[in-house]
């Protein structure tokens, strides 16, 4: 069986040490401060500093990976005789996957007999990370490249993303809510509950008053739709609010006895759009 290497990018919000443990190689997506030209990778700015800067008023913008960055990462594997499976940040939120598919096709022509498979996860943050985990798990169990790819593709239609944010101003910047909604939401302590739809877009689903109510609303979605609430794998990600992540887990544990397989930080690539205080839950459900 031909050896293959699994790649991902920093849209998955899985920390580098965990990716190394999984045997996954990472492609850096970048971000920059509004008004500055310097591009940062996630490793170049501590997550706590990033969110503190946002709270102080710094606005960050993000950039998709370009062809040169992607080629420089995966070409050495193909050159060495190993195939590539790139589990990519979803096209609903980033253009990276389109660039990756074109680059992979060009490299396959350059290295006949080698394969570079790019999967559009239609996912973000640790939802992307969770479908990546299914590829890693399949590989650990002996699956070939096609088997690992199928594990991802089978999970995507049922990969639920439910999340809330602490301040609507960041969603306003991205056009997800209106300026008026952000203003009055802040005045009235309104917290939105959102999900990622079948096309990978962020969709507001409901509004509740108060942070604890929003956390309970996310947990309720798990209770209502999780395929295996007592034993299924779920991930939680948070934008510098680890206490809230533990609260969310504790609600699920109290009802189903099921602990999160992973609680991880939302990095700058996602956090630039969602802001500090974002809390998200990812699991396989009866519907996305």
In this predicted structure, what is the pLDDT of residue 93? Answer: 86
In this predicted structure, what is the pLDDT of residue 189? Answer: 67
* Same domain, yes or no: 25 and 131: yes
125, 156, 187 - which closes a domain? 156
In this predicted structure, what is the pLDDT of residue 181? Answer: 43
Please tell me the number of Cα atoms within 13 Å of 188 on its side-chain side: 12
Tokens 């920390």 label which residue? 15
What is the layout of strands, in order, in the sheet containing 234-238? 202-209, 190-196, 159-164, 279-284, 234-238, 262-265
* Cα distances (angstroms) measured from residue 140 to each of 8, 14, 135, 144, 147: 17, 18, 9, 10, 11
Instruction: List, for the chain, all residue ranges whose pLDDT scores fall below the cut of 70.
Output: 168, 171-190, 202-204
* Same domain, yes or no: 68 and 51: yes
* Same domain, yes or no: 194 and 140: no
156, 178, 212 - which closes a domain? 156
Provide the 3-class DSSP secondary structure of residue 178: coil
**What beta strand segments (E) does the chain contain?**
4-9, 24-27, 30-33, 40-41, 60-63, 83-88, 116-120, 159-164, 190-196, 202-209, 234-238, 262-265, 279-284
Residues 139, 145: Cα–Cα separation, whole Å: 8
156, 190, 218 - which closes a domain? 156
**H/E stretch holding 139:** helix 125-140
Phi and psi at residue 174, in whole multiples of 5°?
Answer: -90, 5
Of 230, 243, 250, 232, nearest to 276 by C-alpha is 243
* Averaged pLDDT score across all residues of the chain: 91
* Same domain, yes or no: 173 and 109: no
Owning domain of residue 107: 4-156
Per the structure, the count of domains in the chain is 2
- Read off the tokens for 266: 């939302």
CATH number of the domain bearing residue 150: 3.40.50.10170
Of 199, 200, 241, nearest to 218 by C-alpha is 241
In this predicted structure, what is the pLDDT of residue 197? Answer: 80
Alpha-carbon torsion angle 26, 31, 37, 43, nearest 10: -50
Q: pLDDT for 234-280, tens place per residue?
A: 999 999 999 999 999 999 999 999 999 999 999 999 999 889 999 99
CATH number of the domain bearing residue 205: 3.30.1180.10
pTM comes to 0.92
């Amino acid at each position: 069986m031909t050896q293959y290497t699994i790649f991902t990018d920093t849209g998955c919000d899985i920390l580098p040490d965990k990716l190394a443990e999984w045997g996954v190689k990472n492609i850096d997506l970048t971000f920059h401060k509004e008004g500055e030209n310097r591009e940062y990778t996630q490793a170049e700015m501590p997550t706590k500093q990033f969110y503190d800067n946002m709270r102080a008023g710094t606005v960050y913008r993000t950039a998709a990976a370009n062809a040169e960055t992607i080629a420089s990462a995966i070409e050495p594997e193909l050159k060495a005789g190993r195939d590539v499976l790139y589990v990519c940040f979803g096209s609903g939120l980033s253009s990276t996957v389109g660039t990756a598919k074109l680059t992979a096709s060009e490299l396959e022509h350059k290295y006949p007999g080698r394969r570079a498979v790019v999967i559009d996860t239609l996912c973000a943050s640790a939802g992307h990370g969770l479908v990546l985990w299914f590829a890693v798990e399949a590989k650990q169990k002996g699956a070939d490249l096609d088997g690992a790819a199928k594990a991802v593709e089978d999970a995507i239609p049922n990969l639920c993303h439910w999340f809330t944010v602490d301040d609507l101003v960041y969603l306003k910047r991205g056009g997800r809510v209106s300026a008026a909604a952000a203003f009055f939401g802040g005045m009235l302590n309104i917290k939105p509950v959102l999900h990622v739809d079948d096309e990978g877009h962020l969709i507001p689903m409901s509004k509740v008053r108060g942070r604890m109510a929003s956390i309970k609303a996310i947990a309720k979605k798990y209770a209502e739709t999780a395929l295996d609430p007592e034993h299924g794998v779920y991930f939680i990600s948070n934008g510098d609010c680890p206490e809230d992540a533990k609260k969310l887990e504790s609600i699920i544990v109290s009802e189903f006895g099921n602990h999160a397989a992973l609680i991880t930080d939302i990095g700058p690539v996602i956090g630039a759009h969602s802001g500090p205080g974002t809390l998200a839950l990812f699991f396989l459900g009866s519907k996305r």
